[in-house]
Structure 1
Amino acid sequence: MKKSPSIISELYPLSFLALLLLLWWLACALGLIPAFMLPSPGRVLAAFIGDFPLLMQNAAVSLTESAIGLSTSIAAAFFLAVAMDRFAFLRRAVYPVIVLTQTVPTIAVAPLLVLWLGYGLLPKITLIFITCFFPLVVSILSGFAAVDPDTVRLFQSMGASRRQILWQLKLPSSLESFFSGLRVSTAYSIVGAVVAEWLGGNGGLGVYMTRVRKAYAFDKMFAVIFLISGISLLAMWLVSLLQRGAMPWKHRQDTRAILK
């Protein structure tokens, strides 16, 4: 029986991760790295299990912030992308400014947001919004630009309005590009929430990370790092499921390509 290429391709990263874990365990077991600098995988797992309720409580705070920031950035990116696609002068004026904002490090903007907006929820959501907004705008605009001009002219010759061309042609054609940007932004939203929480707050994985770092509890530090990575991967997988539901024809094409 022929193995599926998708299964084989997944074995490579899993094997590499297993190798890294083995090397990590050996380095700790043989005493090559001091335990206070690099805790063993067993200690990290024990710290994760021991602090699991507290980790979940803080994860709920971070996920709430990232969900609000991501959803607002999706809405704003969609409306701005539609406006920039409709008005060429707006694209020429706004797009370079959007690119310029991405050259400013997020960690440099975070203290200013705290200074202007305080230590509540608003500066964290704003930072997540800024982090996620650019990839979404670029992905949606790229999807609009990839539409076949001949198809647009065909719609126009049949009397389709701009709104009909947008909803019936451009939006369906830009879904793949949009979901590519959404996967990136979803991961950014979680990381952005953690970075924003470093500067203060009453809860969240970033606050938890700051507290265990000050206590030199590096086993708990590694535990929360792995949790953040796991949440990001899970969120990206959920976006892939959402894309499969929104684009069933794409999934069927990929399945046929694998079976050939």
Structure 2
Amino acid sequence: MIGATLGAILVVVLVWQAAVWVLDPPPFMLPAPLRVAETLVSRAPFLLRESAVTGIEIVFGLFFGIAAGALLGLSVEAFPRFGRLLWPVLLVLQAMPVFALAPLLVLWFGFGLTSKVVMAALVIFFPVASAFADGLRRTDPDLLDATAMTQASHWQSLWHVRVPLALPALATGIRVAAPFAPLGAVIGEWVGASGGLGFVMLQANARMQTDTMFAALAVLAAATLFLRFLADALTRRLAPWAPETR
């Protein structure tokens, strides 16, 4: 998978370079890949410092988003009456564009770290909660009937049968959601921040420093790819018996 990803990146860079040769756009509209690489090297300390800000937002957003999503997915199935009341509300909230909430989050939580963490967590929360709840809901009825014959309690059945069988669904939800965490953090930074890769992009765009903006995008893309590979590796450990994670 890593080889295929690197190959795809190489193809994108070659097409990008060919477009620059053929169209010859002004550098402020589309800089050449070599110029972006030079900016990455020359401004590496600055980009690393701003990447650390966004990285902290991503890490906390991932932690809280996955934890809250898994807890809610478990709760709506552990407490059926609670789930019947809450799940329609969550579906309505999920239908709302999460990014449209970014200005409100900045208004409520300020321009600091909290609003970006909440934004990243919200992007992750819904896919994780939906996937885990769906996995719990799809437990084979025959297994539940067999468990009932052992006189196991509702909680014993949930913890020892339904949760292990739903872990592959939870793993899928995490794999799908994790790469969106950087996007959530950057959207929060675009609305209001004093640091981070999103802030760098806004400042570079305002000053027509397109090479710096592309360099920040490259760092963000690398972070997103890393998160995807990390999520794949961790979810294999979470549910090693699942065919799709072997």
TM-score between the two structures when normalised by the length of structure 2: 0.90
What letter is aligned with 1:68? Answer: F
User: Number of matched residues?
Assistant: 246
| Contact in 2 for aligned 1:28/1:34 (Cα 8 Å) | no
Q: Does 1:232 align with 2:186?
A: no
Q: Give the corresponding residue for 1:162.
A: 154
Q: In the alignment, which of 123, 137, 141 is matched to residue 131 of structure 1?
A: 123
The gaps in structure 2 that reach 5 residues or longer are: none
Deviations 1:86-130 (A, max 9, x none): 233322322222122223223321111212222122222222222
| Contact in 1 for aligned 2:27/2:210 (Cα 8 Å) | no
- CA RMSD for the aligned pairs? 2.2
Q: Give the corresponding residue for 1:144.
A: 136
Provide the rounded CA distance (Å) in 2 between the counterparts of 1:197 and 1:29: 34
Provide the rounded CA distance (Å) in 2 between the counterparts of 1:80 and 1:249: 24
Deviates more, 1:218-227 or 1:114-123: 114-123
Sort the Cα spacing of 1:23 and 1:204 in 2 relative to 1 into closer, same or farther, 3 A: same
Identity %: 33
Deviations 1:121-154 (A, max 9, x none): 2222222222211101101011102211111121
Q: Give the corresponding residue for 1:103.
A: 95
Deviations 1:152-207 (A, max 9, x none): 12112112222222222112111111111112221122111111011222321111
Q: Give the corresponding residue for 2:189.
A: 197
Partner of 2:31: helix, strand, or coil? coil
Partner of 1:248: helix, strand, or coil? coil
| Contact in 2 for aligned 1:62/1:205 (Cα 8 Å) | yes
Q: Could you tell me how far 1:222 is from its partner in structure 2?
A: 0.9
Q: Could you tell me how far 1:28 is from its partner in structure 2?
A: 1.5
TM-score between the two structures when normalised by the length of structure 1: 0.86
The gaps in structure 1 that reach 5 residues or longer are: 1-5, 255-260
**Superposition map of 1:10-89 within 5 A:** 11=4, 14-89=6-81
| Contact in 2 for aligned 1:28/1:35 (Cα 8 Å) | no
| Contact in 2 for aligned 1:111/1:199 (Cα 8 Å) | yes
Q: Could you tell me how far 1:15 is from its partner in structure 2?
A: 4.5
**Superposition map of 1:164-179 within 5 A:** 164-179=156-171
